Amino acid sequence: MALPSTAALAQRHARIRESLETLSLDALIVTPSTNIRYLSNHAGTAGILVITRDAVHLLIDFRYQEAVRALQGSASACPGLRMWDVPASYEEALIGCLAEIGVTIVGFEAAHVTVARHEWWRETIAGRGLDITLRSTERLVEQARLIKDASEVATLRDAAARLEQVMPAVLTAVRIGVTERSIAAVIEASMREAGYERIAFDTIVASGPNAAMPHYRAGARALEAGDLVVLDFGGVLDGYCCDLTRTVSIGPPSREARRVYDAVRDAHAAAVAAVKPGVDTSAIDAAARDLLRDRGLGEAFGHGTGHGLGLDVHEEPRIGKPRADMPPVALAAGMVFTIEPGSYLPGFGGVRIEDDVLVTGSGCELLTSLPRELLTL
Amino acid sequence: MALPSTAALAQRHARIRESLETLSLDALIVTPSTNIRYLSNHAGTAGILVITRDAVHLLIDFRYQEAVRALQGSASACPGLRMWDVPASYEEALIGCLAEIGVTIVGFEAAHVTVARHEWWRETIAGRGLDITLRSTERLVEQARLIKDASEVATLRDAAARLEQVMPAVLTAVRIGVTERSIAAVIEASMREAGYERIAFDTIVASGPNAAMPHYRAGARALEAGDLVVLDFGGVLDGYCCDLTRTVSIGPPSREARRVYDAVRDAHAAAVAAVKPGVDTSAIDAAARDLLRDRGLGEAFGHGTGHGLGLDVHEEPRIGKPRADMPPVALAAGMVFTIEPGSYLPGFGGVRIEDDVLVTGSGCELLTSLPRELLTL
């Protein structure tokens, strides 16, 4: 386990505390498990974290307390941590904690707190006559998570590199007559063997016509000669996700399969070549999209070119078309995301090629380095 | 694929429309993927559904449209479905849909919509001068999902029964020197082989002292003689979850291990015996909890006795202590949930035994029927 050190956590806390200062907040309530993990190394699926100017309050129930005690005795202890027991309701425990530590202006994450939860907090605070004002905040932790620190880069690099150990078993399993579901089982068992603690998302094995559905998973269809097969999978290592797609051909590809494959491969290369600090994320998307449009496949590419990777398998930055409701994002060193153009042709099938990249000072490092030429199996 | 039929979906729609009528709503915005699936058979991870008095509007992007078209040509077509393309933003598409279909009083699910999202909807509606009022609703779809219909019971029964195919491979893998992680890999590969489309949650293999952490997953520890090993796993079949825990002994159990095991087994049996329609869920919890307390293990059982199972692996009903902030729930025929008492003793280890039950007209049916006596491997 290569967990972030106490010093790395302290730097993350410092960034959040700058935001507290700027926004005149006494504390921030943090609720998503990945944001909690980012700030505390607590990896449980339940918990509420309250970060103040000088402490980190972690509210967790019985199930996780033993693990947190072990963590606090290690080199990855969370600095300034105070653990609060949650005997029954997390919501009750939160209000109790806020009242006891005496904070007045408290931020919450508007993108993660539901209307029902917010209502309950507000009414309970009012009902008990507490002097606490809740303030909506946006992306304070996500903004920090956007640029990976050294410990995160090391883990993401390791996570991506291990996919090379997975691929040989996968390619052995892909053959005529084998079902998509069996291949998915081989992929997932190989990921475990490679040391991933779990799969990052439902494995996709989409063969023949099924490959025309970008989010098809894996079904009972058996592979046939002439199929293109999209294999999309990833694992989680020490909390961090990797994500890879390769498309292979069962027997010699048709002329059309070759044409579509080459277009997607070239779109992928064009997007990778466009990555460097300062460039807008939408320019990476445009590099892939323009190439596919020029090859007559503009309509066949209906999704974005990529998504950020980290503690979540889909996080910032979004690599897609510019959107009126979202501010543009310029790439910066330390960002990690996928590049995954594709083409989907109903009735025919589909192709997708996906790698994970890290933005460096001058361009990018490909974290996944498996060959991108069309393999015929 | 045993998807619910068009007629089954029509019955679900009728239940939601009764609620619309009662609450004087023209429509309900449905956002969680499991609620969307429940009402439409659309199984994608993105989408927004708007159910009105006479139609079901499904907003989905390019990636899922091919799959929905295929569904609509089948015996599991969603009645009254109208598919809306989402070219860019789901939020924009939703407001566009509401404006075009001309609904005025529109419910949303307060437990699933974030404060940020609700704010954006409200401001956009106001900014465009639309005559739409958003109303907070609670648990309209969850209430319907609480009682499983015939198609759901059939799928849940099948999902639970297939765990019997998984267990032999698991028991073969559990031996001295094997790591928790390798055993988890065997469990997950066996689940794929048994036909599950994915795992329902991160597999738990907690051995020796690790078993004292109820939500430990699976790590690098190799099994040793004298360990108790908690194996907790489940799969998803046609969208529905099963969940099973067995605890085994590596070599002959110590006297203390035997004592704790017997107490948990008896608590499990007491809880199962208490299940019948009309009984409060907290009485099931009390049956297990009282027995463990009488055996001196009250403090060692820090979690609830069970949780509902269905499209979500944790759903209603909650089988736990009564809580001031939640109304009591009486069991009714058609409810499906786990019964999983445990004992966790730091330094020593732990025991948990878990089965899935269906409430019947007179008691309950155990959906998982593997032996519950302590196995020595």
At A116 the pLDDT is 95
CB-CB neighbours of B150 under 10 Å: 12
Which of A60, A165, A192, A343 is the mutation pick for testing B, counting most B CBs within 10 A?
A: A192
Identify whether the C-beta of residue B199 lies closer than 8 Å to the C-beta of residue B236: yes
Is residue B195 located within the same domain as residue B93? no
| A300, closest residue in chain B (CA to CA) | B62
CATH number at residue A54: 3.40.350.10
Asked whether residue A125 is assigned to any structural domain, the reply reads yes
Collapsing DSSP states into helix, strand and coil, what is residue B285? helix
B216 pLDDT exceeds 90?
no
Separation in Å, CA of A362 to nearest CA in chain B: 31
**Radius of gyration for chain A, computed over Cα atoms and rounded to the nearest angstrom:** 23
Q: What is the ipTM of this complex?
A: 0.82
What is the rounded CA–CA span in Å between residue B216 and residue B208?
A: 12
Q: Does B185 touch chain A (CB under 8 A)?
A: yes
- In angstroms, the separation between the Cα of residue B368 and the nearest Cα of chain A is 23
Q: Does A117 fall in a domain?
A: yes
> Is there a contact between A62 and B303 if contact means CB atoms under 8 Å apart?
yes
Answer whether A175 touches B (CB < 8 Å): no
Asked whether the beta carbons of residue B115 and residue A116 sit closer than 8 angstroms, the reply is no
CA angle at A89 for the pair A86 and A90, rounded to the nearest 5°: 65
Does residue A2 sit at the B interface (CB-CB below 8 Å)?
no
Interface residue A306 vs chain B (CB under 8 A): no
Domain shared by B117 and B220, yes or no: no
Closest CA to A116 of A138, A91, A99: A91
In eight-state DSSP terms, residue B103 is -
Residue A98 inside a domain? The answer is: yes
Alpha-carbon distance of B236 to A17, in angstroms, equals 42
Name the residue among B62, B91, B110 with its Cβ closest to that of A114. Answer: B110
Total number of domains constituting chain A: 2
Residues of chain B positioned with their CB less than 8 A from the CB of A303: 61-63
| Residue B88 structure tokens | 């860019």
**Nearest CA-CA distance, residue A317 and chain B, Å:** 16
CATH number for position B355: 3.90.230.10
C-alpha to C-alpha distances, B159 to A27, A135, A216, B237, nearest whole angstrom? 45, 45, 21, 6
Contact B116 A108 (CB under 8 A): no
B103, B239: one domain: no
List, as one string, the DSSP characters of B302-316.
Answer: -S-SEEE-SSSSSEE
Q: Is A195 left (phi over 0), alpha (psi -120 to 50) or beta?
A: left
- pLDDT-based confidence at B131, cuts 50/70/90? very high
Q: Is A346's Cβ below 8 Å from some Cβ in B?
A: yes
Identify whether residues A300 and A273 lie together within a single domain: yes
Instruction: Write down the pLDDT at residue B256.
Output: 95
Q: Do B197 and A217 touch (CB under 8 A)?
A: yes
Residues 119-148 of A with CB under 8 A from B: 119-120, 136, 138
Whether B298 has its CB under 8 Å from any CB of chain A: the answer is no
Give the pLDDT score at A110: 97
Q: Residues B195, B62: one domain?
A: no
Instruction: Give the pTM.
Output: 0.86
- Across the interface, of B111, B181, B203, the residue whose CB is closest to A114 is B111
Q: What is the strand order of the sheet B105-109 is part of?
A: B81-85, B56-60, B48-52, B27-30, B105-109, B133-137
> Does residue A317 lie in a domain region?
yes
Chain A interface includes B108 (CB < 8 A): yes
**Chain A residues within an 8 Å CB radius of B121:** none
Considering only CB atoms, which chain A residues are within 8 Å of B302? 61-63
Amino acid residing at B87: P
- How far off is chain A from B362, nearest CA to CA, in Å? 31
Same domain, A279 and A359: yes
Same structural domain, A51 and A86 = yes
Note whether B198 contacts A217, CB cutoff 8 Å.
Answer: yes
Please check whether residues A300 and A336 belong to one and the same domain.
yes
Q: What is the mean pLDDT of residues B177-194?
A: 92
- CB-closest option in A62, A91, A116 to B111: A116
Closest listed residue to residue A317, CA positions, set A275, A369, A365: A275
Instruction: Decide which of B121, B146, B171 is a domain's last residue.
Output: B146
Strands (E), chain B: 27-30, 48-52, 56-60, 81-85, 105-109, 133-137, 198-199, 204-207, 228-233, 235-237, 240-241, 244-249, 306-308, 315-319, 336-339, 342-345, 349-352, 355-359, 364-366, 375-376
Last residue of a domain, which of B87, B113, B146? Answer: B146
Cβ pair A3, A38 in contact under 8 A: no
The nearest alpha carbon in chain A to B138 belongs to A116
Residue A30 to chain B, least CA–CA distance (Å): 14
Residue B1 lies in a domain: no
Q: What is the pLDDT of residues A137-191, one digit of tens each?
A: 999 999 999 999 999 999 999 999 999 999 999 999 999 999 999 999 899 989 9
Average of pLDDT values for B298-324?
94
What pLDDT is recorded for position A146?
97
- The gap between the terminal CA atoms of chain A, to the nearest Å, is 36
For residue A61, the enclosing domain spans 6-146
SS3 content of chain B, % helix, strand, coil (to 5): 40, 25, 40
Distance CA A79, CA A160 (A): 29
Residue ranges of the alpha helices (H) in B208-280?
255-274
End-of-domain residue from the set A109, A128, A146: A146
pLDDT at B1 over 60: no
Average pLDDT, chain B: 95
Kindly state the helix (H) or strand (E) to which residue B275 belongs, with its residue range. Answer: none
Same domain, A216 and A359: yes
Question: What is the Cα–Cα distance from A110 to A120, expressed in whole angstroms?
Answer: 14
Which residue of chain A has the CA closest to B304? A88
Q: Which residues from chain A sit within 8 angstroms of residue B189, using beta carbons?
A: 185, 188-189
**Between the CA of residue A296 and those of A8, A229, A255, A290, what are the distances in Å?**
48, 22, 15, 10
Please report residues of A whose CB lies closer than 8 A to that of B118: 115
A110, A217, A302: residue with CB nearest B116:
A110
Q: How many CB pairs under 8 A join A and B?
A: 134
User: Which residues, at least 6 apart from B312, have a Cβ–Cβ distance to it below 8 Å?
Assistant: B34, B241
Whether residue A214 lies within 8 A of chain B, CB to CB, comes out as yes
Report yes or no on B18 lying in a domain.
Answer: yes
**Could you say which residues from 245 to 264 on chain B have a Cβ atom under 8 Å away from some Cβ of chain A?**
none
Spell out which residues of chain A touch residue B116, defining contact as CB-CB under 8 Å.
110-111, 136, 138
Q: Say if the Cβ atoms of B63 and A214 lie within 8 Å.
A: yes
A188 and A285, same domain (yes or no): yes
Q: Is the pLDDT of residue B161 over 70?
A: yes
Residue whose entry in the numeric block shows the structure tokens 């027991």: A85
Chain A nearest-CA distance from B303, in A, is 7
CB within 8 Å: B115 and A108: yes
Preferred mutation among B3, B215, B236, B245 to probe A, highest tally of A CBs within 10 A: B215
Cis before A317 (ω within 30): yes
DSSP reduced 3-state for B339 = strand
Residues B157 and B242 in one domain: yes
Chain B residues whose CB is inside 8 A of the A192 CB are 181-182, 184-185, 188
The answer to whether residue B100 neighbours chain A at the CB level (below 8 Å) is: no
Beta-sheet strand order (sheet of B204-207): B204-207, B228-233, B244-249, B375-376
Say yes or no for a CB contact (<8 Å) between B197 and A185: no
Return the residue matching tokens 């445990």. Answer: B342
Is residue B200 one of the residues assigned to a domain? yes
pLDDT tens per residue across span B230-273: 999 999 999 999 999 999 999 999 999 999 999 999 999 999 99
**In the 3-class helix/strand/coil scheme, how is chain A assigned residue by residue?**
CCCCCHHHHHHHHHHHHHHHHHCCCCEEEECCHHHHHHHHCCCCCCCEEEEECCCEEEEECHHHHHHHHHHHCCCCCCCCEEEEECCCCHHHHHHHHHHHHCCCEEEEECCCCEHHHHHHHHHHHHHCCCCCEEEEECCHHHHHHHCCCHHHHHHHHHHHHCHHHHHHHHHHHCCCCCEHHHHHHHHHHHHHHCCCCEECCCCEEEEHHHHHCCCCCCCCCECCCCCEEEEEECEEECCEECCEEEEEECCCCCHHHHHHHHHHHHHHHHHHHHCCCCCEHHHHHHHHHHHHHHCCCCCCCCCCCEEECCCCCCEEEEECCCCCCCCCCECCCCCEEEECCEEEECCCEEEECEEEEEECCCCEEECCCCCCCCEEC
- B88 pLDDT tier (thresholds 50, 70, 90): confident
B277 near B365, Cβ under 8 Å? no
Alpha-carbon span A308 to B177, nearest angstrom: 38
Does A1 fall in a domain?
no
In the prediction, which pLDDT does B2 show? Answer: 75
- pLDDT-flagged residues of chain A (< 70): 1
Residue at B249: amino acid letter: S
Look at residue A1 in the predicted model and tell me its pLDDT: 52
pLDDT tier for residue B62 given thresholds of 50, 70 and 90? confident
> Which of chain A's residues have a Cβ under 8 Å away from the Cβ of B117?
111
Residues B170 and B244 in one domain: yes
Is the minimum CB–CB distance between A45 and chain B shorter than 8 Å?
yes
Query: What residues of B are in contact with residue A307 (Cβ under 8 Å)?
Result: none
Alpha-carbon gap, residue B213 to A62, rounded angstroms = 9
Pick from A61-65, A223-227, B220-224, B279-283: least confident: A61-65
Q: Classify residue A73 as exposed, middle or buried by CB count within 10 Å of its CB (0-12, 13-18, 19+).
A: exposed
